[in-house]
Amino acid sequence: MLTPLEIHQKEFKKSAWGYKPEEIDTFLERIAQDYEALYKENMILKEQIARGEENLHRYRQLEDTLNNTLLLAQKTADEVRITAERESELLLKEARHQSEIIISNAKSKQRELEQDFERLKNQSRQFRVQFRAMLLSQLEAIKGEEEKELDKYEQNYVDYEARDVEEYEGLPGNFQEVEGIAYAETASAFEGSPELSGSDNKKAVY
């Protein structure tokens, strides 16, 4: 591109029938002035375009940075959300597992308690049966001992009576006479006593 200085310094060859040099110089001067103005304006525009491109480049970099930041923030948010969901699922799974363990232990404990209760019921039932059998056995034993004692006393009484009868029958024949004399002497002794006279004596004799 020509500069204004090159236009000013441009020289043309002269000929016998050429243009007037004064007109050419005047015209070239005007062209040079207009071109210089255009040139300066063009330089200003180029600088403005360069600055605009630089600013645009910065803005694009800033936009890229913002986009990257947004993408990173979105990615981080997604990762946090995914991590939170995963941890929540793990916690929920662990809570369910623990609750299942607690319920299973509770059911197992309940079964053990029910088994213990049934065992105690059976033991209590067996104890009552055994205790009742023992009581009946003791009562039968006591009853048997009492019957034995009664039989023994009855037998001793029978033996005693039999022995007395034998002894009585073995006495001398005048035993009844001796018994009558003893009775008469006893009666006369009561009659001779002043305390036993009268009605009292009769009662005593009677």
**Chain segment 164-174, per-residue pLDDT in tens:** 555 555 555 54
Chain centre to alpha carbon of residue 22: 116
Average pLDDT of every residue of the chain: 76
Read off the pLDDT of each residue in 15-21 and give the average, rounded to a whole number: 66
Q: State the Cα–Cα distance between residues 110 and 116, nearest whole angstrom.
A: 10
| 65 SS3 class | helix
Task: Determine contact, residues 190/201, Cβ cutoff 8 Å.
Answer: yes
Single-letter residue type at 125 = R
Residue with tokens 């050429």: 18
Structure tokens at 69: 């930041």
Tell me what pLDDT residue 10 has.
Answer: 67
Q: State the Cα–Cα distance between residues 42 and 40, nearest whole angstrom.
A: 5
Helix (H), strand (E) at residue 82: helix 21-169
**Chain segment 114-154, per-residue pLDDT in tens:** 999 999 989 888 888 888 888 888 887 777 777 777 767 67
Where in the chain are the domains?
4-11+18-188
**How sure is the predictor about 28, in pLDDT bands with cuts at 50, 70 and 90?**
confident
**How sure is the predictor about 202, in pLDDT bands with cuts at 50, 70 and 90?**
very low
Q: Which residue, 173, 172, 204, 199, is CA-closest to 187?
A: 204
**How sure is the predictor about 110, in pLDDT bands with cuts at 50, 70 and 90?**
very high
Tell me what pLDDT residue 192 has.
Answer: 52
Tell me what pLDDT residue 139 has.
Answer: 81
Residues in the chain: 206
Structure tokens at 195: 């305390």
Chain centre to alpha carbon of residue 132: 44
Number of Cβ within 10 Å of residue 200's Cβ equals: 13
For the full predicted model, state whether its pTM sits above 0.85: no
